[in-house]
Amino acid sequence: MFSIENITANNGWAMALAGAIIVMTGLSVLSLVISQLHKLVALFEKKDPAKTKGPAAAVPESPVAAAISDPADMAETAKLYQTAAGELDREFELRQLYAVAAQKQMPHPHLSIRSMREAGIIVPAGDGLFTWA
């Protein structure tokens, strides 16, 4: 009953080919619709006036960033960090200094602290603690 002759005699090959073509066409149309769905959604969304093209909004600069005239001047940066980290103990962990820098909106805390360590402004005190030189 299930032999190759029966499949051929009852147009089984044509039906299998037609089924495969229908499935592939359906999947292609579905992928095309999904890839263009964002355009259809954009038509129904309300336009936000803040997102329209125009002059870019100025990013407010933190007051600490404005105080540093030359970021490459490590002495000035170190003085600013020492002032900001006044509530820390004499010996502190770097994560505490990072937290203070983030709280006070210091510019580029990771880069600044690394540069101060390389310059010898922040020196290891042992047991994972650091101190000002």
60-95 pLDDT tens trace: 555 555 555 566 678 888 888 888 888 888 888 888
Three-state SS at 112: helix
Q: How confident is the model at residue 54 (pLDDT cuts 50, 70, 90)?
A: low
Q: What is the number of domains present in the chain?
A: 2
**Distance separating alpha carbons of residues 93 and 127, to the nearest angstrom:** 9
> Please, what is the average pLDDT of the chain?
81
My answer on whether 128 and 71 are in the same domain is yes
My answer on whether 71 and 27 are in the same domain is no
* % of the chain with per-residue pLDDT over 70: 80
How many alpha carbons fall within 13 Å on the CB side of residue 109? 19
On the question of pLDDT at 9 being above 80, the answer is: yes
- Burial category of 131 from C-beta neighbours within 10 Å (exposed 0-12, middle 13-18, buried 19 and up): middle
My answer on whether 73 and 115 are in the same domain is yes
Q: Which domain holds residue 25?
A: 4-44
Kindly report the pTM of this predicted structure: 0.46
